[in-house]
Structure 1
């Protein structure tokens, strides 16, 4: 039956309205894909410690994973290119005396890694570009200031050598790792701190706590500048991260144990910008945020899926995009900085999913027909050059990250040695433990340093054997002389 012209006009108007309701976004069709089996990392015994950290940290050079170990304080660092089955004798990083709880790569030096442990210390490690021949057991700095386990380590986004640690003693300490000294200490939290997140320029950080409060802290004023009781009604752990615009994105639970996400304006904590219920599950949602695209990836521990959302200034402000699903649950997750993605494949994010015995890269791409560089997908991103020195930041200066172009694909700079000043705690250690730094290692390639160490050990062994031989000969000579007499 033919419709009247009036009905046709109404139908046309309705279809135009429905088209206008569909939100326009270049990220509506982000596509997640697992790497091929041979591009994964197998035979990795992921840690079983009961702590809600991601257990994994990644940068354009290395993959680091907290693993099970007999000594309890080990983690594994692999070059990204070392895919496939892991050799059972591959050297670990073994300096902690208790289980490692959190690890974080320095944003300004791809060879520097921080770790926090149940042994109440945080340690700073220099990871060589080549595969070490023995376990790495000597940190370049040991940070001792907490009386209980150190569960959170996170680097300042723009200032060189500034590291924040948080422990089960409810204490937050900001360190200058170049001197090994604590700069700032805050004890405003009455209970266990769940997570800490810096804002884009590092002037503030936000925390979630077991007392169910979300706090915004100014570390240089040593005070809490804003707080919100129970952004999520449930009692289970929350997570909070700063967005590029200065809002705070949170994940938590409702009173009925449904998982929930929220977006908040820290200058007005009364009402959320957005609040969205997701599902019913026990796994804590770990948010990974990309400030270049304003996308947030939610990975629940024990889930087998990754959901991603776009944050915009249009209602409903947090827009669900899609879900990447796989068969096996995740034990943890690592998130690659934008510098490490493959621009030739329109890859906008890469996550590293931890299984029980392996690590699997997952690529997030935006399908495009053109082979040309996609300017709209890759705005300039935060580079490895720090914007501030520690002294400048401590005096009250703030600066946004120094940006680099992704047009030709990012090429990491030559590795730089972390400079530790003479005031460092390492100065009180025996000279033999600092034998590498005694010669100016910054002027030597890592391979040569390793070779020199091998030769030193060999020479020591030779000297000891020669000493023993000389003693034996002297004894025989004295026996012969006494016998002749």
Structure 2
């Protein structure tokens, strides 16, 4: 009698468990926008959720420790004039978050460590370059201040947030872009598009280096993410509208490494990937379950592990970076499930009896320090993330301010103009200084001209404003 061989894997028994009720975040009015975004972003310090709000777009940012009922007057992050569609925390600064909106802009925000007393309404920088709504926003995994946005105008723009300027624009997509995913070192990204093509793009060459038509034969939206090894994991639909998973080698797109049918539900599957364990967690909008799979080099390559199920369907999902999990509980991942009125953390745990640090579960993971400066990345350099040990747990650093150095509008014109003017019957030199004031929403600039009159003792004093328009 043959005995079935059980696959050996330390993650074979990973199980999901929702936290106790008093550890959830309650009374959150999750956005009702019909956009296939996760609506939630989380890092070791903060939880951010896109919420319903009057008068434009807003999202809520909470300290992770601020569990329980959220006060209905809790200050929001406001500034977009249309609904917020996507948010993403900076991997190199836990206090910086980027948002994008139907108002065609992306904004970058500094979140204080303390609880704000009033709504945060002034972004550090506003990124304007799209002509239609901006639905996707992604930070570069290893280079400082590099941010990618994709809009309804089918453009992908890569920005240097430190200067507020676009570095490059890609217009290779003829239709709506469904999602974008950077690879492990940020040298390439992959996209899925309404034209049913999966593309691999090299942003610095500004070209598509590989593409595959219809990795899934259905016409419903697809999702694609890079694995650490450089393969591409996809979710989509069959011609019969069954949900399907695929694993692809971008150097040979002819045949999939693996293709697996799941079920007949119609929610788009959002994949969340952990490069340290090679486990991918699948959460469908409207589903009440989270499936997880391990990707290995042995057939069938994508191994089903288990399913976490609960009673209520999810509106969205956030995924904690590895450095935010609790190593003392053998927690290898944490997801934040959005209900209609609350956010519920779900811990993925490997059952082990020992209280000692489990080296095999926690290889060094990507830390908060960038491996490259923007100029180095633009010059063609690549670098893997700088890793940190999880042995003693991870303590988020204190808030660091993001400096934005915009080009000086005065560089192209003389800043001061000297003239002789008759004042009080005497002839004294007068300096007319022009001051440019750029307001936080970046949309308009006030120009103030002030006369400085040289006094006989060699000093100068402001005399009057020549021109100071209303804002």
Match of 1:359 in 2: 343
Match of 2:457 in 1: none
Match of 2:380 in 1: 396
My pick for the range that moved more, 282-291 or 414-423, is 414-423
TM-score normalised by structure 2 residue count? 0.87
| Contact preservation (8 Å) 2:134, 2:152 | yes
- CA apart distance, 1:431: 6.5
Paired with 2:71 and 2:109, the residues of 1 have a C-alpha distance of: 22
Paired with 2:149 and 2:258, the residues of 1 have a C-alpha distance of: 30
Match of 1:54 in 2: 38
- CA apart distance, 1:429: 7.3
Deviations along 1:242-273, one digit per CA (max 9) or x if unpaired, are 00000000000000000000000000000000
Q: 2:303 aligns with which of 309, 319, 333?
A: 319
* 1:109 maps to 2:110: no
Paired with 2:119 and 2:248, the residues of 1 have a C-alpha distance of: 45
* 1:86 maps to 2:39: no
| Contact preservation (8 Å) 2:293, 2:302 | yes
| Contact preservation (8 Å) 2:123, 2:440 | no
Paired with 1:431 and 1:161, the residues of 2 have a C-alpha distance of: 21
After TM superposition, the structure 1 = structure 2 runs for residues 179-258 of structure 1, keeping only pairs within 5 Å, are: 179-258=163-242
| Contact preservation (8 Å) 2:125, 2:440 | no
Match of 1:344 in 2: 328
- CA apart distance, 1:146: 0.0
Give the 3-state SS of the residue equivalent to 1:95 in structure 2: strand
Give the 3-state SS of the residue equivalent to 1:306 in structure 2: strand
Give the 3-state SS of the residue equivalent to 1:279 in structure 2: coil
My pick for the range that moved more, 412-421 or 287-296, is 412-421
Paired with 2:226 and 2:440, the residues of 1 have a C-alpha distance of: 41
Q: In proportion to residue count, which structure has more strand? A: 2
After TM superposition, the structure 1 = structure 2 runs for residues 24-423 of structure 1, keeping only pairs within 5 Å, are: 24-423=8-407
| Contact preservation (8 Å) 1:178, 1:424 | no
- CA apart distance, 1:131: 0.5
Which consecutive residues of structure 2, in runs of 5 or more, have no partner in the other structure? 412-434, 442-471
Deviations along 1:396-451, one digit per CA (max 9) or x if unpaired, are 000000000000001112221001114289x99746759xxxxxxxxxxxxxxxxx
Give the 3-state SS of the residue equivalent to 2:77 in structure 1: coil
Paired with 1:158 and 1:104, the residues of 2 have a C-alpha distance of: 15
Give the 3-state SS of the residue equivalent to 1:163 in structure 2: strand
Give the 3-state SS of the residue equivalent to 1:280 in structure 2: coil
Paired with 1:77 and 1:289, the residues of 2 have a C-alpha distance of: 23
CA distance change for structure 1 residues 161 and 41 in 2, over 3 Å: closer, same or farther? same
Deviations along 1:194-231, one digit per CA (max 9) or x if unpaired, are 00000000000000000000000000000000000000
| Contact preservation (8 Å) 1:58, 1:334 | yes
Which consecutive residues of structure 1, in runs of 5 or more, have no partner in the other structure? 1-10, 435-485
Give the 3-state SS of the residue equivalent to 1:74 in structure 2: strand
Runs of 4 or more above 4 Å deviation: 431-434
| Contact preservation (8 Å) 1:206, 1:216 | yes
- CA apart distance, 1:73: 0.6
Give the 3-state SS of the residue equivalent to 1:38 in structure 2: helix
Deviations along 1:150-181, one digit per CA (max 9) or x if unpaired, are 00000000000000000000000000000000
| Contact preservation (8 Å) 2:194, 2:221 | yes
Paired with 2:180 and 2:228, the residues of 1 have a C-alpha distance of: 16
| Contact preservation (8 Å) 1:180, 1:424 | no
| Contact preservation (8 Å) 1:179, 1:424 | no
Paired with 1:284 and 1:33, the residues of 2 have a C-alpha distance of: 23
Number of equivalenced pairs: 417
TM-score normalised by structure 1 residue count? 0.85
Paired with 1:429 and 1:371, the residues of 2 have a C-alpha distance of: 61
Paired with 2:351 and 2:374, the residues of 1 have a C-alpha distance of: 42
Paired with 1:423 and 1:23, the residues of 2 have a C-alpha distance of: 58
CA distance change for structure 1 residues 120 and 92 in 2, over 3 Å: closer, same or farther? same
CA distance change for structure 1 residues 147 and 287 in 2, over 3 Å: closer, same or farther? same
Q: In proportion to residue count, which structure has more helix? A: 1
